[in-house]
Every structure is written in structure tokens, then in C-alpha cells.
Structure 1
Amino acid sequence: MSDIDPRRARDLGMDRPISRRDFFDGVAVVAGAAAVGAVTGIPLLHGGRGARRPEEPPYPPALTGLRGDDPDALSVPHALRDGRFWEHAGAPHPTGESYDLVVVGAGVSGVTAAHEWLRRDPKARVLVLDNHDEIGGHARRNEFAGGGRPGPLIGPGGSPSLGPPEAWTPEGKELLALLGVEPDTLAGRLDRDLYPGLGLRRGVMCDREAFGRDRLVAFEPGGAAEEWVSRLPIAEQARRDLVMLYTDPPDWLSGMTDEDKEQRLAELTYSAFLLDVCGVHPDVERFCRTMPSARWGYGADAFGAIDAWGTARRWDFPGFGGLGLDRGKPSRFNSPTVRKEWDAGAPVRFPEGNQALVRMLVGRMVPGFAGSTSADGVTTAAYDYARLDRPGNRVRVRLSSPVVSVRGDGDGSAATVGYFDGYRLRTVSAGAVVLACWHTVIPYLVPELPADQRRALRAAVKTPVLHATVRLRDWRAWHRAGVRAVRWTGAYWCQTELGRPVSAPGYPCPTDPSEPILAHLVAAPSRSELGPARGAALGRQELLKTPYEDLEYTLRDQLTRLLEPYGFDPAADVEAVTVNRWGHGYAPEYRTPWDGFYPDGPLPAEAARRPFGRIAIANADAEPGGGFDSAVTAAYRAVDDLTR
């Protein structure tokens, strides 16, 4: 990240009063902020959400600025991690509440666990606790009103897709059936012809960070490589090498058996394959480095060559065509997601991403929260967040309430759960607990866990990622540029794209370039040259020290570099910004060449997810693997562990 140039910042519209600053990190400064700061040792920048009056909650999807893992959500967990929380926490204050089940985490896995528990025991009392001010975990919904539309513009702030239906786990398929979600119906709501019909293609911005200057090259994967490669600002030898990789690569590993070839690919990253096996010009590797970044959270210098081969047809990784390996089945060395999605079709999605499912689940458990819990009505329904934690509810969802301890009672029949409510440490009693939170935080909540289980939990290092949503006045500049989605080769935001043209009953997606639209940007701040786990940890540290203003500055700068030649004015065309920061973003996935125990095992997740008394462990980390269905499967398993 470079320093902000004040003159450039003005040109980019950073001084304009847009809605990003209506709620920067939450709500206005109020008295409770002092209480949070005293316990955590970290003064909150804009006040603590725990200090707002519960009868007047904000509507989280409409808040802009920095969202996701913002300072309010992270202050208590970080204080717990750093050993600062208990110095100031004081004596616990029992609420007197008792529940059959307490769930830690209101993401997909947590609300699924609560729903499945209630399905098996409809009379149960359930409490769901979360440190964020919103349900859904990474499944966020960003909403922007205005612009002459009959309703708001809606897009995902993380977890945008359900993935391909053919690849769903049995538990994921069962839950979707219970919710009445029909994959074929969802698939039909994506207008695949809209952008191509307007002449909008994919493209790559060979940027100054990687190549010393910016040049946009638009093309579609599978097109004539000779034509678009000739327009890249790379060395002539690199052009010849890249065309060869796309059109006629040799068998780099001739003389080896297929099994030996797969073994060799499993020992390499994609960058190492290009440089050390193919021997291509360094500009080729530089051009390809960010190919996996938006999807996986790290670059080709960490992405396994065997997975690049396994996803080459879907994601356009060149260089493998001459190996002669069987495309009819995955390699045993492929990561779990690559294996699962091997022959799967296209992903399906709601306009708001996977928070639609979370809202449907919570709406069926909490009376009055949702105006509709159907797949047709969830996008446009009204939602009353004040209903989530009412005393009369059989299921209560308590947000802005980070859990700090889970202790099993002496006879193993119950547990006590402690959480911070913004003022003090509170406790509730639970007949059972499902920990559907990040696995790396669980050893701090349950220090009595066996040493090998604590080690396995700490090994589940999530990959940081940023999902930014930008409301644009119109998308005429994109139309003139002829692009709908652009990968960057070295800049901070690795992908910029127009929102997917997904509609829902009562919610038409924008279809005319003169209309307002949402743009989506992805950044992968992991230091992938250090490997997935170590690079994720260092990248997360750097991300958490990066001010919001820097994130917005780079976002505006890249949109301007991409679109200014086509009439884009950042000061006038950017109407609102939401940056969803996920320091603990993508769930860890076992992969070669980094995880020596994979694929033969034993796998750390098997030790990490063992139940402990009346405590069971969920979250996608328990699979491990990203995706809605992984989180659902982990939730079902946790409920099974507590009820069998």
C-alpha cells in the first residue's frame, strides 16, 4: 500500500460527502465505548455497538465504510488472544438464563446448527451469540438505497455463491430442500447473456505494479491467444512462451507414468511449474501470478500446480495440455474443493449471496424477524433486527456479544458460557454448546482441551480477503471499455467487476448502462510467497494495520486507472463504498505442496473437531474447506455429536 497523495485523493473524490462516512464503523460515539475500551485495552474508533440502545438497532446491511471484521468485532477477541481481557474483565454477572443449546457464531454453520437442533427438538431453547453486529458471518449483504430505483441495490459482501449444485454435500442438499431452494430456479435468475450481449468481456489489467505501466487487454478465455497476447506489455519472448502454453504445450514430464506426473505436480506451486518445469520467461509467471487470487486468497506462488491442472478448464490456467493426464477424474493430490467440483457445472446464487440462506434460517426460528422466509421472498422482504433477542423467543440471537469462555460443569451434563455485552462479563447456562466460530479462537475459549486438539485447532489458519462493494451512478464507462470483469496482475485489488446480473422476484438487476449498479472488488492481502499459512498470518497483520482511508483510496485509484479513459469520474460516479474486511476469511483447505500429511492423513481437522463433554465443534474449518455446504456439514456433525 502506498502513501495517500492528498491532491490525488481530491481528484478521486475522497473529499466528497458520500454515504461511506454516515456509519464508518458502526454507530455514533456513546457512553458504552469507554467500557469496551477499558476491558480490551483498545479504544474504539467510533464507539461500541454494545453501547447502543437495543430497542433501536441499526440496519446492518445498509451501513457503509468499514464492515466485516471491523474494530468493534475484533477488539475483545484480540484482547483475549493477547492476554489482556481477563486483567480488566471483573467478576462475571450471571444473566440467570438457561438454554438447551448455546451456539457460538451466527454464520452459516452456527445458524444451521441451531436450526437442526430445533428440528430434532422443537421445544428446545436456543441462544446464538456472535461478536459481529450482523448475522451470517462472512455471508454478508450490502444494501444501497436511492438512484431512482423502486428499492435498494443489493449485493454480497462476502460468500457470494452457493457453488455448483452437483458438488453439494448430502447435508447441504438436505438443508436446501428443507428451505425450498431449487437450484434450477436460482440458475435461471442469472442473466448469462446480458453482459456478452452488450459487448462486455473479461479482461486483464497488466498494471504498473507488475509491468511498470497500465494496459487493459480485454478477451474471453478460450479465444485466439495469438491476438490478445500480442497486446500484452510483456517481453517478446514472454509472448511466444504464453502463446505456446495456451495453444501447444509439450509434455514437460515425458517418460513418467501418470502417477509420477501427478506426484511431481503435487510437489510444485503453479509459479514453480511455469518457471522451473516449463522454463518460461519471468514475465509469463508475473502475468499469471494473480490467476488464483480472488478464488483462493493467494497467488500462483502458493497455489499448487496439481490444483492449477485440476481447474485449468474452469479457470484457464495454461501449460498442462501436453501432459496427457486423464481429465476424467481428479488426482488424489487435488485439494478437497477441486475434487468435489471436478465435473460440476456453474455456481448458483442469490443477489445478496449466501446471507439469503442465513436470513431464511433465522426467520424460521425467530418470530417476526423476517417478512418472508421463502426463496422467492427473501431478497425483498423486510427484516426487524430488534426481534432477534426478545425474552419470549424460543430461539434468541444476540449480536455484538463476543464469547470469551466455555466451561463444562463438573458432572459433564451442562456448560457455562461467558460473553462480553459491551459493559461487563455475562454468563448463561447451557445443556450443550456448539462452537461454530474460527477454530483458532477455540483454545482461548476452552483452555482445558487436550494439547493435541488445541494444536490442531490452531493449525486452521484462515486466509484474509477483502470484498468491497461500490455503488456507481451508472456503468457507461464499463460499456465503453467493453469489460465486465478485470483481473489485475499486481495492484492491491486483484479483481474488479460489475455485479453479477442476478434477479429475484420483485428485484430486477440493472440491465441498462445508464442505471446505477454495484461494482465488486476483491483483494487478497496474503503474503503468498511465504506459503498459505505463514503468508496468511503476515498478510492479516498488515491488513489490520491498514487504515480504511487507504483501502478506499486504492479502490478509487484502481477504478479510475481502469475506466477514466472511457469517461469515468470517480468524484461523481462513486456514490457509496462498503469495504468488508475479513481478516479471518477463507476457510483453510488442505493442499499440496504445503501440507505434507495430505492426502494420506491423519488430517488435523479430525482431531480439531472432536467433541469435548457437552461441547461440539462446527464451522467450515472442521471439514475443512470453503463453501456453504462445508459449513452445513460441519453443523450437522456437531449436532450429531451432542445428540447420539
Structure 2
Amino acid sequence: MEIDPRRSRELGMGRPISRRDFFDGVAMAAGAAALAGLAGCGAGARPGAIGTDHLEVPYEVRFPPALTGLQGNTPAALSVPHALRDDRFWQYAGAPQATGETYDLVVVGGGISGVSAAFEWLRLDPGARVLILDNHDEIGGHARRNEFAPRGRVGPLIGYGGSQSIEAPSVWTAEGKALLDQLGVKVRRFERYFDRTLYTGLGMSGGVMCDRESFATETLVRLTEGLTPERLAAQLPIAEQAKRDLVMLYNNPPDYLKGMSRREKEERLAALTYSRYLLDVARVHPDVERFCRTMSSDDWAYDTTTFGAIDAWGSAGGWDYPGFQGLGLDRDKPSRFNSPTVIKEWGAEDPHIYHFPEGNQALVRMMVGRMVPGFASATDMDSITTASFDYGKLDLSGNQVRFRLSSPVVSVANDGPPESATSATVGYFDGTAIRTVRAGAVIMACWNMVIPYLVPELPADQRAALRQAVKIPLLYATVQLRDWQAWHRTGVNHVRWTGAYWCVSELDHPVSMPGYLFPGTPAEPINVHLIATPALGGMSPAQGAVAGRHALIRTPFTYMEYTIRDQLTRLLGPAGFDPERDIEAITVNRWGHGYAPEYCRPWNSFYPDGPFPAEAARRQFGRIAIANSDSVPAAYADAAITAGHRAVSGLMAQ
């Protein structure tokens, strides 16, 4: 994790841009003003002077989407949960102080699952009083909005910092589809709003950067229309034997499992990762495995040394996961060993266009805007992106629904034995003291792995099951560029890297909404998205997540910025890209606790027959119910919505 000082200067690290660095150990009080002074802060508000540290910026002039630097799971958001985990919170916390507040429902966690649970509760009980508590400084959890104000552009440039798209809406859960209907989200409109011909019309395509972290010679290969495996292999900086092996995998691989029945072949694939399939079964040259290794990183947040071969077979298509055609496994149906999402999306042909500029935070803002009067100037699908938002309205005493940010929950307990309790008490830290509120019901829509620290009275088997929900870390960076002419000259709009720190770099999705225009010409400012997946490979998703998260928490923002500048320059420098001149703002959304990992082979031997840890983990405990996508588990918005609805149903049925 070293930075070359000379290279740093060449990359423009010294130039003042819109960025801030946050360091671990920041006191919660620094960011826990509970947004009390944010009234009137609208969509065009700026976060303060460029290049200043966040502690120097008056809180009342901050608008969370416009904050740059390190966002997401910041040290300020994690300090209290980490202190609880490390058993160093209560010895310094002091005695809880009752606020005197009483609610019908308290929701712990203000992401998609928690907000949709509150929204569903109000649908069933319109007069209910609800409080949502979250440890972050922004609504939506992983569904975060990034916003910039480039010089010369009318209105902000908006991107997503987390939950990205309405993935495969045709196969969304019933609860997810019902919520879209309630919000008036007509996904077919994206067929007009999403410009599927912008990049191809400019002669641009996807590409693969065979980077110097993987190969001796760094080479960009464009995946243009009509490219053949032979022409692809000829351009790659890999051994001659590897080129022949790769062409064979794409064109005509043999039946590597000849003599086995379909079930036996599926069982064999279920026992392997895709990397091991390539190396041990197909016995291809190691350069082939190295070229393919990051194919799964974007979708699953871990590479093919962890990604199962059975799911690689189920996901194979285009340039991804070659080598299965010769097995003779008909694609009429998925394998029972495929992960739940592969099974769910089998045969779904939804294009990847169902995307708000701010990602799925649009759904959160539509819900919060309808529950909290005055928060949003509009709450319909066509206006939410350009609406103004008043954060000062979120936690007013007269609200029927209150949303309290920068307020990490530290304790939740039934008032009396769980089998007979009719209420519960929730404690949270407001930056100076522990405050408590009473609730008729509580929904834990936070990370499931933290719940045992908040509800220690849970049965031992349930605490153990909750701790198995180990989220996968990932980074979403949004970089605002002066223009995208170097991308146009290079001829790419999406690039997979084979081994560098950031595994994906791509131009933003070309979606325009009424009143919001995507930059349609290369001379305009644009957002670039980069994805990094810190989970270590060669081990289970949970083990890799823990190891990767430990490394991530020690990674400073300066290193993240350095690698962003370095990789963009390596990709685009030959086309005239100058990082000092062309990079105008950087936001890195750190999700140390990111994707909810699905049960999958070869790592979960109990899958698909069960029993499943999530079933024990999500049991209702008196007036306390458990949601979050962890309790499904699946890393998708509709899974989070379904988990929230399930918690509501259980509590209301009691």
C-alpha cells in the first residue's frame, strides 16, 4: 500500500479538488448534530469550501449527497458499532437518559429495508407514530446519492454511491413489485429515459484491461461487435498456449466430465470454484485463469477463486465464464445447486436499463418524502431526481414519522418477558449521551451481525445464526471529470481490470429524467464510476470478507485517490487524459459491510437442502422483529423490501 511520491505529483494529487479525508477514531460528536440546522438545504446546496476537512465545514451548510471524499461506512458511522463489538462502549457511555418519546414502531436502520418497513407499517396503520434511527449521516443506507456541480453545467451532475439499479424487475419479489406500484414507478419508462445507443453510436464498447498487476505487458482489449475469440486471444499479453486454450474454451470445449450423468456433473461443479474448474478440470494455462479471475467481481464482490463453478455455468454468456458448452448440460432449467439469484433470474431477459441517476436512493427519497411532510418538494418518479430536499424536516417533534440520522442504536430490549411483552425500549447514542425511547414494536433493519450486540438477550442459537451474516465489502467511487473526450478517443465506456485495485471503471449510465439531462457529448462533464472488491480470494465469501474488511479499514483515502488517478491515467493517458486537469471531484463510498452474501456452493454444504441460518436468525423475539437483506439473504433491493414486509407482518400478527 505504498504511494510513489513522484508518481503522486504526476497524477495531480496536490491539486485542490472537491474531496475530504476522514480518519478512523473520529468522535461521534463531530458528526452527530442530528442535522438540526439543515433546514432549507436543497438539492443545489454545496458542502462548503473545496479541499477542506469535514470538521471545518459548518454542519448547517452541508447537504449529504454533495459531500465528497470518503463517504458511506465512515469512521464516524462505525465508531460506536465498533466500540460495542470490542466491548469498550458501555464502560464510558454513562447511564441512559429517557427522552420521554413513545412510538408505535421504531426502525433500527434507515436503508431500503428499514424505510420500506416503515412505509408498509403506515400503509396498514395510517395513524401510527414511527421513528427511524440510523448511524449514518444520510438516508438510504447503501442506497446513497453522489452529487457534483461542474463548472458550466446547468444543475447538478448526479450519480449513485451504492444500490445501483432495479435489477431484473420482471422477477422481483411480490413485495418489491407492490412497492413500485405504490410509488408509481413505471419501469417501462426507462426504455425512453435510458439511452441504449449513446455509447455505441459514438463507436464505443466495453473492454478488458490486462493490467500490469496480472501480466508483464499492460494491454487494453476492446470488446467490439464482431470480435472473435481468435482475434481476442491474439491481442492478449498471455502465453501462446494460453491463447490456444482460451480460443478452445470459447469455441469448442470438450466434455471435461465425460461419462457422468447430469446430476453427477452438477454435483462436481458445485464442489468447485470457477478458477479451480479452469485449472484442475479444464487444465488450461494459468494465464487463462488470470485473465478470467475478475469476471465475477462486479456482480458478487469477490473473484472467481471464490465464485462457484456451478454459478459460473449458470451465468455464462457473452465473454463471461467460457468452458462449459461441451458438458452437455441443457440450459432448459437451472441446477438445484445454483445460488438463489441465479435460479430467480434464470431466463429473465430484462435489459440493464432500470436505473435512476441516483440509483435506488430515488426509491428511498420517494418513501421518506411521503412519510415526512416538507422533506421533498416532489415524490413522483419523474420529479424525484430534480426535487429539493430539506433535511431539517426529518426529525421535527410534530412529525408523525421522524428520521434521526447519526444516531447509532446501542440497545434494544423487550419490556418484560418476550412471550408477554407489549412494548420495547430502544437506546441510541446522540454524540453526547445514550437516549432511550419506548416502542410498541421494533424492527431491526440493520446489519444482522451487529444485532447480538444490541439485543444480548436473544437465544444463543439465534445470536450464532445472526453472526453468520457476514457482509461482503466493496467500494463505489464516483469521479467527476471535466469531460469524457479521452474515453471517446480510447473507444471504451466500460472496462474490466484483471488485477488492479479497482476492478471496474466505467462512464455513468446514460439515463435522463424529466428536467435532468445526461451529458450527451464528450465535451461535457461526466461522472465515472469505479468498483473495488477488497474481499480476499481463495477462501469462502465470509472468510474473504473478514480479511478484506480488516485491510480496507486500514486503507487511507489518499491511497484510494492515488489508485483512482493512476488507473484512469493508465487507461486514458494515451488518449490525452491529464488527471491533474481532468479530475474535478472524487467521492469514495466505502461499504465495509456491503453485499449480503447468498448461500452458495461450494462453501455452504447445507445449501440447497437446509436448514438455513437465516431462518433461525430472523425469528421474532417478543416485540422485536428482524429485517435487512441479510435475513433473506440476497444483495438486492427487492430482497431488502421483502425482509422489511416480513418483519411488519410478523409484528402485526402477534
Secondary structure at 1:520 match in 2: strand
Q: Map 1:121-520; keep pairs closer than 5 Å.
A: 121-220=125-224, 223-313=227-317, 316-344=320-348, 345-347=350-352, 348-410=354-416, 411-520=420-529
Q: Assess if the C-alpha contact under 8 Å between 2:34 and 2:430 holds in 1.
A: no
The 3 A distance-change label for structure 1 pair 167 and 53 is closer
Distance 2:529 2:194 in 1: 16
State the shift of 1:346 in Å: 2.0
**Per the alignment, in what secondary structure is the counterpart of residue 519 of structure 2?**
coil
CA offset at residue 321 of structure 1? 1.1
Gaps of 5+ in 2: 39-59
1:54 and 2:36 correspond: yes
For 1:313, what is the secondary structure of its paired residue?
Answer: coil
Spell out, residue by residue over 1:112-139, the C-alpha distance to the aligned partner (whole angstroms, 9 max, x if none): 0000001100100000000000011110
Hey, what does 1:630 align to over in structure 2?
A: 639
Q: Which runs of 4+ in 1 moved over 3 A?
A: 220-223
8 Å CA contact 1:487, 1:495 repeated in 2: yes
Q: Measure the CA separation in 2 of the matches of 1:515 and 1:53.
A: 34
Deviation at 1:528, TM superposition (A): 1.7
CA displacement 1:533-578 (0-9 Å, x = unmatched) = 1010010010001111011111111001111011000001000000
Amino acid at match of 1:483: V
User: Is the partner of 1:386 in helix, strand or coil?
Assistant: helix
Corresponding residue of 1:38: none
> SS state of the match for residue 18, structure 1?
coil
Cα distance between partner residues in 1 of 2:543 and 2:191: 38
Q: Distance in 1 between matches of 2:84 and 2:27?
A: 19
What is the rounded CA distance, in whole Å, between the counterparts of 2:629 and 2:66 in structure 1? 27
Letter in 2 for 1:231: Q
Deviations 1:175-234 (A, max 9, x none): 000000011112332111110111111111101111133111111487311112100000
Following superposition, the deviation at residue 162 of structure 1 comes to 1.0
Looking at structure 2, the residues matched to 48 and 238 of structure 1 have their Cα atoms a distance apart, in angstroms, of 54
Which residue of structure 1 aligns with residue 42 of structure 2? Answer: none
The letter for the 1-side match of 2:201 is G
SS in structure 2 at match of 1:195: helix
Gaps of 5+ in 1: 27-41
Counterpart residue type for residue 16 of structure 1: R
| d(CA) in 2 for partners of 1:146, 1:529 | 42
Cα 1:394–1:51 shift into 2, 3 Å: closer
User: Deviation per CA, 1:362-392, whole angstroms, max 9, x where unpaired?
Assistant: 0000000011100000000000111000001
Deviation for aligned residue 1:313: 2.2
User: Offset of 1:592 from its aligned partner?
Assistant: 0.1
Aligned equivalent of 1:545: 554
Matched-pair contact (CA < 8 Å) for 1:412–1:614: yes
Residue equivalent to 2:593:
584
Q: In 1, distance between residues paired with 2:66 and 2:77?
A: 17
* C-alpha deviation, 1:146, in angstroms: 2.5
Q: Secondary structure at the match of 2:291?
A: helix
Q: Output the CA distance in 1 between the equivalents of 2:635 and 2:310.
A: 18
Preserved CA contact (<8 Å) 1:221 1:316: no
AA aligned opposite 1:10: R
**TM-superposed deviation, 1:6:** 1.4
Secondary structure (helix, strand or coil) at the match of 2:538 reads helix
State the secondary structure of the residue aligned to 2:600. Answer: coil
Shift of 1:107: 0.2
- One-letter identity of the residue aligned with 2:257: L
Q: Is the 8 A contact 1:485 1:495 kept in 2?
A: yes
RMSD: 1.3
Asked if the contact 2:34–2:404 (Cα under 8 Å) also holds between the matched residues in 1, the reply is: no
Q: Is the 8 A contact 1:528 1:536 kept in 2?
A: no
2:35 and 2:493 map into 1 onto residues whose CA distance is 43
Residue matched to 2:563: 554
Letter aligned with residue 287 of structure 2: D
The answer to whether the 8 A contact 1:470-1:519 is kept is: yes
Q: Which moved more, 1:507-516 or 1:217-226?
A: 217-226
One-letter amino acid of the counterpart of residue 188, structure 2: D
- CA deviation after TM superposition for structure 1 residue 295, in Å: 1.1
Q: Which residue is equivalent to 1:81?
A: 85
* Identity among equivalent pairs (%): 65
Does the 8 A contact of 2:536 with 2:545 survive in 1? yes
Q: Is the 8 A contact 1:205 1:489 kept in 2?
A: yes
Find the counterpart in structure 1 of residue 50 from structure 2.
Answer: none
Change (3 A) 1:568 1:160: same
Q: Distance in 1 between matches of 2:298 and 2:318?
A: 14
> How far apart are residue 531 of structure 1 and its match?
2.0
Q: Which amino acid aligns with 1:262?
A: E
216-225 or 463-472: bigger deviation? 216-225
Shift of 1:144: 0.3
1:104 aligns with 2:108: yes
The offset of 1:601, in angstroms, is 0.2
Q: CA–CA distance in 2 between the matches of 1:43 and 1:626?
A: 29
Structure 1 contact 408–414 (Cα < 8 Å) conserved:
yes
Partner in structure 2 of residue 29 of structure 1: none
AA in 2 matched with 1:556: R
CA distance in 1, matches of 2:157, 2:260: 54
| Aligned with 2:609 (options 575, 600, 603) | 600
Task: Report the residue type matching 1:346 in the other structure.
Answer: P
- Rounded to whole Å, the distance in 1 between the matches of 2:614 and 2:204 is 43
Shift of the 265–161 alpha-carbon distance from structure 1 to 2, 3 Å rule, reads same
Q: Any conservation in 2 of the 1:268–1:593 contact (CA below 8 Å)?
A: yes
The Cα offsets for residues 605-637 of structure 1, whole Å up to 9 and x where unpaired, read as 100000000000000001110111000000000
- Within 5 Å, give how 1:523-542 maps onto structure 2: 523-542=532-551
Contact map agreement 1:463 1:585 (CA 8 A) in 2: yes
Q: CA 1:220/1:167 → structure 2, altered by over 3 Å: closer, same or farther?
A: farther
Tell me the TM-score normalized by structure 2.
Answer: 0.94
Aligned length: 626
After superposition, the Cα gap between the structure-2 partners of 1:46 and 1:230, relative to the gap in structure 1 and judged at 3 Å, is farther
Alignment partner, residue 18 of structure 1? 17
Contact 1:187 1:349 in 2 (8 A): no
Structure 1 residue 324 displacement after superposition: 1.5
2:527 match: secondary structure: strand
Offset of residue 46 of structure 1: 10
Change (3 A) 1:124 1:52: closer
- Given that 1:435 and 1:619 are in contact with CA atoms closer than 8 Å, whether structure 2 keeps it comes out as yes
* Partner in structure 2 of residue 36 of structure 1: none
- CA shift in 2, pair 1:518/1:47, >3 Å: farther
Question: Do the aligned partners of residues 220 and 182 (structure 1) sit closer, same or farther apart at CA in structure 2, a change above 3 Å counting?
Answer: same
- Tell me, in whole angstroms, the C-alpha distance in 2 between the residues paired with 1:616 and 1:598: 25
What letter is aligned with 2:6?
Answer: R
